[in-house]
Amino acid sequence: MDKEKLTRYFFVDEAGDLTLFNKKKKTVPLGINGVSKYFILGFAEVLEPEKLESDMRALRADLTSDPTLKNIPSISKTAEFFHAKDDFQAVRREVFALLQQTKIKFWALIRDKVNLQNRGRFIFEQYGKKLTDKEVYEDSVSRLSKYLLHKSDENIFIFAERGKTITNHSMASAIQKAESRIFRSWGIEPHGNNHIQCGHPKVHPGLQAVDYLLWALQRLYERKEDYYFNKISSKYRLIMDIDDTRNKPYGEWYSQSNKLGLSCLKE
């Protein structure tokens, strides 16, 4: 009997921004004026995409028909799709409850933007080149997807649309680099059966899920607030904080056996 083909569905988005320098090539202050201190890339594997779509549709219908929420300004956006930053607190609570019951696994890579600023200065001083958003994003995708690609027969990646920074071609290049890393590290030949597309959260509920997972992780890092993170911490399979080299040169890696919490974070 032939082995059943294993296809995995990954939904990819980011939290924070990649603002590092101003127009005068000076580093911008981090953590103020809407500029984040961290850039976080997240991959959410949804094991039952059709069920998640059905569950989110039903929840949205229930919430938008609730008379106690009808005058909330953000409810019109909620009627389109869930977005953690914009959703009303009562809506957010229900989405987190849904995600707790969803078969989903989450991986994240975290970049401390102080390190990215230092790297950008070095590249400019040595080579006269600018460290671009595209380069940082592609490198992050390549680093993180290295640990996901080789465990299935087929991978389907759906990236949240982000203009010129994310294109099918650039993400395909990042995935190919990850396959090369897999071969160098473990000698595993890549199957190359990776399908990449960019989409909008309104069309792909998995992107709404990864947005919520990222938002909770971002609040932990940016605000030192763990309330939402703790609600769904069981979904986080690997968090690679590669710039936190206080104890290890390659950074800190958090998992279910080495759990992330407020006490782990740098002051």
pLDDT digits (tens, 9 = 90+) for 129-158: 999 999 999 999 999 998 888 778 899 999
Cα distance between residue 160 and residue 166, in whole Å: 8
pLDDT digits (tens, 9 = 90+) for 97-117: 999 999 999 999 999 999 999
- What are the backbone angles phi and psi of residue 106, rounded to the nearest 5°? -130, 135
Judge whether residue 214 has pLDDT over 90.
yes
DSSP string for residues in 1-57: -PPPPPEEEEEEEEES----B-TTSPBPPSSSTT--SEEEEEEEEES-HHHHHHHHH
pLDDT digits (tens, 9 = 90+) for 37-95: 999 999 999 999 999 999 999 999 999 999 999 999 999 999 999 999 999 999 999 99
Closest-CA residue to 241 (of 212, 256, 221, 226)? 221
The answer to whether 157 and 194 have CB atoms below 8 angstroms apart is yes
Judge whether residue 1 has pLDDT over 60.
no
Q: How confident is the model at residue 3 (pLDDT cuts 50, 70, 90)?
A: low
Alpha helices in 128-167 (DSSP H): 133-145
Here the tokens at position 146 are 């290295």
Alpha helices in 146-224 (DSSP H): 168-186, 205-223
Relative orientation angle of helices 49-64 and 205-223, to the nearest 10 degrees: 80
Q: How confident is the model at residue 204 (pLDDT cuts 50, 70, 90)?
A: very high
